[in-house]
Amino acid sequence: MARTKYIAGNWKMNTSKAEAVALAKDLVAQLKGKTNKYMIGVPFVYLDAVSQVVKGSNIILAAQDVAATSNGAHTGEVSTEMLKDLGVECVIIGHSERRHEIGESDELINKKVRRALSQGLDVDLCIGELLAERESGDAENVCAFQLSADLAGVSEEQMKKVTIAYEPVWAIGTGKTATPEDAESIHKFIRGYIAKLYSKKVADEVIIQYGGSMKASNASELLSQPDIDGGLIGGASLKAETFVPICTVGC
């Protein structure tokens, strides 16, 4: 079935406030009227400023993480309530940098997923294998485990608000990219595994993004694969001139 291409930018821990606002303004202007689906994952401290820029546009505002609990005595955490108050509609959860730099467990990721969904936020759930896991032939097993653990307790109805971002960890920020055929193979596996967890209908409808060094030069080939429905873009999303060409593939 035809699925709308969903291109998301993950700004990570980058930009100043002025740069974030300027970039958001550029994207609003250049993506106006384009038919793909768009999202930007903005650092917590700039969400309020960027929210004012993208309000009423075709760009979804996302946070790069969220607390697993409601408001309370959780120093340094940011709740779903706080994010929604700023106009945030989506949260990126389970990014490999949080899994492997911060040490987030699948149990915690699952709690965050369920918390975000219970509060009406969309979720962009990141999964993917390390280089050693790929080389040992365990890529599919790793993705299957993460899907099962991270989506535990998530209903078929809630899956309408979940996007999966497959990000081979060895390809993030390295310039290395899975070949379109290799990426498609894992995407196809993920879709099939979701069908096992839920149903063929859910699997057919779920958006699966590729998140490993997608850029303007390889976006068209990757996005032409039948099971690659978009991209979660890191470095290339930090400038309009490198992000917009990816966003407008197929428009």
Q: What one-character-per-residue DSSP string does 55-120 give?
A: TTSSEEEEES---SS-SSS-TT---HHHHHHTT--EEEES-HHIIIII---HHHHHHHHHHHHHTT
Active site residue 167: yes
Asked whether 125 and 113 are in contact (CB, 8 A), the reply is yes
Task: Exactly one of 95, 97, 133, 187 is catalytic; name it.
Answer: 95
Q: Which of 104, 129, 133, 167 is catalytic?
A: 167
Q: Is 157 a catalytic residue?
A: no
- C-alpha torsion 205→98→11→45, nearest 10: 110
Question: What residues are annotated to the active site?
Answer: 95, 167
